[in-house]
Amino acid sequence: MQDDNNKLLDFDYDQSEMKPIIKVVGVGGGGGNAVETMFAGGSVKDVTFLLCNTDMQALRKSKVPNQLVLGPDITRGLGAGNRPERAQEAAESSREEIKEALTSDGTQMVFLTAGMGGGTGTGAAPVIGRIAMDAGLLTVGIITIPFLFEGRNKILQALRGVKEMRENVDALLVVNNERLRNIYQDLRLDNAFDKADETLTNAARGISDMITRPGRINLDFEDVKTTLKNGGVAIISTGYGEGENRMQKAIDEALNSPLLNNNNIYKARKVLINIYQSNEAPLITEELDPINEFTNKIETGFDNIWGLSTDDSLGQKVAVTVLASGFDLDTTTKSIQSSSSTDKDNNLINTLSSNNDDISRIKEENELISDYYGTDNLERKIFKPTLLKISELDDEDIIGIMEETPTLNRNNKPIEEVRSRKAANAGKFPGATGGNAMDTGSRNGRSESSPGNSYQTIKF
């Protein structure tokens, strides 16, 4: 009989008994809808799901079993009322419950999905992200920002939420809904938000498949952790190819994904590539040349990890998933680039203000918006009252400009050009005036020679 102390160790683990290490957390209405789609579709495998919301009624409608009401004593389960600060307070009051829900089952990685721009997702998701990070979990935010038609206020609220998220997760993937609309131009309005949910699902599935799907050259959780830990802004994209040059087609499709947000992937600092083939049509070595060409274009001294997995559902196709991180938020925005306009005053809405503080604030907001949405869609201007000298009130050149230019399109630049030209001419020809009025500023028989009265606000 064999001595009990010398028994051979049994390394034949039952894979079915291994607990998932990835948890997908949907926060608020938008994040909850995305998780609902993942849960119902079953396409994101070997993960657990959790819904967090301040709206108890929304949770009750969901079939996702694991749910957490945030701050019931604060919101009474009635939602955050589109107020991120209220949702933040609710999440802060539920810190212990959130930590328990995230860590009680062996979770090592959290996908945090949320729609930015509303109340709960914008306010609570950064709090949950910080709790997950403090608990030692690899935390990845996968968030959406609004369509342009959802309005300026929601967009600004969303972009402030993006900044908060960036500071409270290891890596952040931003899905710009407006880019979805540009890519899928025949998208019906009632399907637009479904497409956003689908895009979030693809991002989560792409990462989870890298970890959970066995491969000939295997990627694991530590590989993904190396790529995403303190990764900053990240992107993930999967492309498929079939027929001649199928690998190049797969790479091209991956690089045209809405998940890239026009980020320059060649500036990534960390890159993880997983290649999928089928037993029906396995890859040959020369088909990997496009992968080598792609990685050679990456500009930085980047860290590269790659894997090879089998997926027999592909048939004759191959697939390539690219996970890249290390982008800086300020240099990877501009999701919908402007190709022509350089006017810093481009605006999403009409704004009339003579207050310099307001104008400065609006310009800052416009620059933030244009970083993500470009300026081609933001062609209206910030408006300032036009200040004319008394001597300019009957200046035919200036009045002509103002009469010919509708108020909606008017700015002061053409008037300043006329003034500069007339000032230059006055220097060459002393005694010349800028218009037909006397320089003393006579108007209706009144003389206004005081410097303090030499300007008057004229609104047209």
Known binding-site residue numbers for GTP: 29-33, 119-121, 150, 154, 197
Query: Which residues on adjacent β-strands are paired with residue 115?
Result: 144
How many C-beta neighbours within 10 Å does residue 183 have? Answer: 13
Binding-site entries: 29-33, 119-121, 150, 154, 197
The amino acid present at 342, given as its one-letter code, is: T
Token pair belonging to 459: 């609104």
| CA separation for the pair 90, 95 (Å, rounded) | 9
Q: Taking the C-alpha atoms of 51, 57, 62 and 66 in order, what is their torsion angle to the nearest 10 degrees?
A: 40
Sign of CA dihedral 76, 82, 86, 92: positive
What are the strands of the beta sheet with 22-27, ordered from one edge? 67-69, 47-53, 22-27, 109-115, 138-145, 171-176, 232-241, 318-327, 270-277, 303-310, 215-217
| CA separation for the pair 274, 175 (Å, rounded) | 21
Identify whether the C-beta of residue 249 lies closer than 8 Å to the C-beta of residue 220.
Answer: no
DSSP class of 11: -
How many C-beta neighbours within 10 Å does residue 282 have? Answer: 12
Pairing of strands 303-310, 270-277: parallel
| CA separation for the pair 434, 300 (Å, rounded) | 57
Assign 82 to helix, strand or coil: coil
How many C-beta neighbours within 10 Å does residue 455 have? Answer: 13
221-228 helix and 189-212 helix, angle to the nearest 10 degrees? 120
Identify whether the C-beta of residue 53 lies closer than 8 Å to the C-beta of residue 217.
Answer: no
Identify whether the C-beta of residue 157 lies closer than 8 Å to the C-beta of residue 116.
Answer: yes
The position carrying tokens 């969303």 is 158
How many C-beta neighbours within 10 Å does residue 4 have? Answer: 6
Sequence-ordered list of residues with C-beta below 8 angstroms from that of 232, at least 6 positions apart, any chain = 166, 171, 172, 325, 326, 327, 328, 329
